């Protein structure tokens, strides 16, 4: 039973180009998924945008409203990207985090996504970026562990 979701594939592009297309053209390549609608008004257009507090991933909804999916915590063009992931139905203590890495493999790039769906985020990562949500993540890590061991005994 995995406690995190990990998916990777190779694309024919340099890591920098892969990063740029991933972030700048997300409105074009992202596929709406009914199970993972961010809000009841979804789907809209996904976009990474900058504001006074830094960067964030948003969904621009059809009615003109903007839903913040999560703040960007890591932005290293050509290497690494991390952002929060919340859906409108989440309760305040629910929090997930997505990390995307871009690694050169010969002429291609291996793009890996790790969605620590309900898992804890490593401590140094939390400290480095000063997430106020740290407590929530800790709690999540704890209960997810409990949940997983409870599940293991039942599956």
What residues make contact with other proteins under the rule CB under 8 A? 1-2, 5, 7-13, 17-18, 21-22, 25, 28-31, 33, 35-36, 87, 89-91, 93-94, 111, 113, 115, 117-118, 139, 142-143, 146-147, 149-151, 153-155
Output the six-digit token pair for 124: 């140094």
Minimum CB separation of residue 85 from other proteins in Å reads 10
Closest to other proteins by CB, 9 or 127: 9
- Shortest Å, Cβ 46 to other proteins: 10
* Minimum CB–partner distance for residue 56 and other proteins (Å): 18
What is the closest distance, in whole angstroms, from the C-beta atom of residue 15 to other proteins in the complex? 12
Structure tokens at 121: 């985020």
Residue number, 124 or 155, with CB nearest to other proteins: 155
Name the residue nearer to other proteins (CB basis): 52 or 155.
155
Residue with smaller CB distance to other proteins, 32 or 54: 32
Surface-to-core class of residue 95, CB atoms within 10 Å of its CB (0-12 exposed, 13-18 middle, 19+ buried): buried
Q: How far is CA 74 from each of CA 70, 100, 130, 142, rounded to the nearest angstrom?
A: 12, 9, 12, 24
Q: In the structure encoding, which two tokens stand for residue 83, read together?
A: 């952002």
């Amino acid at each position: 039973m995995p406690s995190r979701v990990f998916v990777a594939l190779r694309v024919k592009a340099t890591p920098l180009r892969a990063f740029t297309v991933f972030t700048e053209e997300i409105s074009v390549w992202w596929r709406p998924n009914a199970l993972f609608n961010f809000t009841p008004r979804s789907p809209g257009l996904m976009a990474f945008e900058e504001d006074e507090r830094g960067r964030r991933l948003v969904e621009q909804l059809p009615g003109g409203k903007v839903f913040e999916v999560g703040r960007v915590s890591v932005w290293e063009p050509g290497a690494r990207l991390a952002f929060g992931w919340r859906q409108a139905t989440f309760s305040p203590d629910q929090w997930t985090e997505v990390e995307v890495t871009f690694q050169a493999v010969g002429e291609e790039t291996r793009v890996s996504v790790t969605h620590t769906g309900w898992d804890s985020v490593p401590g140094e990562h939390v400290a480095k970026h000063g997430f106020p949500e740290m407590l929530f993540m800790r709690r999540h890590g704890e209960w997810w562990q409990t949940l997983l061991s409870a599940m293991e005994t039942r599956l």
